[in-house]
Amino acid sequence: MPKKIDLNAPHMLAANLECKFGTGSQVDFMLAGKLLLSDDKSVLPALARFDGPTAPITVLEYMQQLGGDLTLWRMRLMKWVACGLLQPSEGTQLAVAGADNSYDGIGGVLSCLNDRTRTLAALEGIARTVRKGDNVVDIGTGSGILAFAALRAGATHVYAIEPSPAASLAQALAEENGLANRLTVLRAYSSDIELPVKCDVMISELVSQDPFSEDMLGVTADARARLLKPEARIVPAQLTVYAQLVSTPEHFQGHEWPTAEKIGQWHKDFGFSFNAVAELATKTRKLRDRQRAGQGELIRPKRAADLRAYSEAVPVANIDFAHDDLKPTGEQHWTANLTATASAAEAAILTFYELDYGGGSLYCNGPSATIGATMRNPRLFTDKKPLTLEAGQVVPITFSRKGKASTLRVTEPG
């Protein structure tokens, strides 16, 4: 009997999936030694979406994000679900227990390598930061790529820490590149590790869509206290969060956000009344809940680039990982003013961030960055309802971090 496929159900990559790469463009997906499917390598970034920081995701949600002509994608996604490559998230396990919302597993490592702009910026920053003779700790080494760059820059030794099965990939690649004698792979969380020396440099890439959700602050604070010399350098060195007034995207206005104007337009166009849509959407939409909680919604950088800017991008929060008091479990609040450059009936606030990987080697996931593909999406906030703007109006905002989650709100007067 053919398998029942529910495109509305959250799906993830099958746990313990193995990829076998041939010399051509083909990749074989194996589960427990059995071939599930052969496909083209070009599908890997799309598949990684089901194992990355925002997984699980529903197949329909994913198609919505892709936009464009979806016929081919629909067939492909159905095939992936049918053969068991994508599985309903209930009952599936991440490769590392307790590490949900992280980039662990094969998909995560691939999406890091596929994020070329980020990886090149990180390699450049490491080349500028690491000095000959340094001992380096790479926390969350994944494939080991950043550890290898530290060795290329002259590090004496790198301790590469990785709790997921990717640790064995890092070991294999270190051997393949003739670097294994200067690199120690430790399969564990950094908080469980003691090192034989205090390190001169820490490299760690625990920054996700919400820059705090992978516990970069907690991991860094712990490493600074136990694993690093007091004057140690950290890659990335700084994180800066930006906010900008923008137009709301079509899909927000058309589907996700049934405004009074939209409902009026449907009434006019189709001759039926649609008031119940607003009520139901308010009650049921996850998006609306997230917006209410000030958490925003992820948006692809390409889509963000299509939005009209209604203000300059303003730096709101800055963190210097090596020097700031990081207060990982505490709360922080940053305020800023966004000045509208034009009037708008429905505006929203976009946040994105810039990482300084060292010596000014920058990576940004914002709309002005010419990023072809990035695994980190900017976030769009609409506050409690879309903003109405007058040209010259000042919109005061508060960006807050509580532990590992950040929110953004328009600051209430008084």
Ligand X SMILES: C[S@@+](CC[C@H](N)C(=O)[O-])C[C@H]1O[C@@H](n2cnc3c(N)ncnc32)[C@H](O)[C@@H]1O
Binding site for ligand X (CB under 6 A): 96, 99, 102-104, 108, 112, 139-143, 145-146, 161-164, 166, 189-190, 205-206, 219
Task: Please tell me the distance from the alpha carbon of residue 155 to that of residue 137, in angstroms, as a whole number.
Answer: 10
- Relative orientation angle of helices 166-176 and 145-152, to the nearest 10 degrees: 30
Q: Closest approach of Cβ 170 to ligand X, in Å?
A: 9
Nearer to ligand X, 102 or 377 (CB): 102
Distances (CA, A) of 208 to 1, 58, 315, 383: 40, 20, 18, 22
Nearer to ligand X, 137 or 340 (CB): 137
Q: Closest approach of Cβ 166 to ligand X, in Å?
A: 5
Nearer to ligand X, 89 or 102 (CB): 102
Nearer to ligand X, 143 or 209 (CB): 143
Nearer to ligand X, 87 or 220 (CB): 220
SS3 state of residue 333: strand
Q: Closest approach of Cβ 199 to ligand X, in Å?
A: 14
Task: Please tell me the distance from the alpha carbon of residue 196 to that of residue 291, in angstroms, as a whole number.
Answer: 47
- Residues, the chain, total? 414
Nearer to ligand X, 97 or 260 (CB): 97
Asked whether the beta carbons of 52 and 213 are under 8 A apart, the reply is: no
- The partner residues of 238 in beta bridges, in order of sequence, read 320, 356
Nearer to ligand X, 139 or 313 (CB): 139
Task: Please tell me the distance from the alpha carbon of residue 108 to that of residue 49, in angstroms, as a whole number.
Answer: 9
Distances (CA, A) of 84 to 17, 18, 77, 88, 116: 10, 13, 11, 9, 29
Nearer to ligand X, 105 or 386 (CB): 105
Nearer to ligand X, 163 or 378 (CB): 163
Q: What values do phi and psi take at 38, rounded to 5?
A: -110, 135
Task: Please tell me the distance from the alpha carbon of residue 126 to that of residue 141, in angstroms, as a whole number.
Answer: 14
Q: Closest approach of Cβ 18 to ligand X, in Å?
A: 17
Q: Closest approach of Cβ 60 to ligand X, in Å?
A: 26
Q: Closest approach of Cβ 374 to ligand X, in Å?
A: 12
Listing DSSP states for 379-411 in one string gives EEE--SSPEEE-TT-EEEEEEEEETTEEEEEEP
**Which token pair is 112?**
């890091």
Task: Please tell me the distance from the alpha carbon of residue 210 to that of residue 404, in angstroms, as a whole number.
Answer: 8
Q: Closest approach of Cβ 32 to ligand X, in Å?
A: 22
Q: Closest approach of Cβ 310 to ligand X, in Å?
A: 32
Q: Closest approach of Cβ 203 to ligand X, in Å?
A: 7
Of the candidates 235, 163, 183, the residue with the CA atom closest to the CA atom of residue 205 = 235
**Which token pair is 298?**
């992820």
CA-derived radius of gyration, the chain: 23
Nearer to ligand X, 166 or 299 (CB): 166
Q: Closest approach of Cβ 379 to ligand X, in Å?
A: 18
